[in-house]
Amino acid sequence: MESIDQSLDENELFALRKAKLDALRETGQAFPNDFRRTHLADALQVEFERATKEGLAETKAQAKIAGRIILKRLMGKASFLTVQDGSGRIQLYVTRQGL
């Protein structure tokens, strides 16, 4: 008896989710993604490989990359992330203040 009730609940849940998806699709793109990357990881490596610490601090460069975080090292107020995209890997230095 319990499995029949559970099955009905799952069917109702599925129908509700499908109705919500249909409503999203009617408004346009169901899952919009307007993020646009500006750089690839290997291009950033080449661009900044010879830069000094002082030179990097003065640059204030901004870049958008799209990839996966494959490594996190959390160290209190500062952390290091390794991000991998289709071209390679890049290491990021992140502080709580910078977020």
Whole-number pLDDT of residue 79: 93
Helix H or strand E segment including 10: helix 2-26
pLDDT, tens only, 4-43: 566 668 888 999 999 998 888 888 877 778 889 999 999 9
Which of 91, 73, 95 minimizes the C-alpha distance to 83? 91
Report the CATH number of the 35-99 domain. 2.40.50.140
Confidence of residue 99 (pLDDT cuts 50, 70, 90): low
Question: pTM here?
Answer: 0.62
Whole-number pLDDT of residue 32: 75
Q: If you average pLDDT over residues 76-86, what whole number do you get?
A: 93
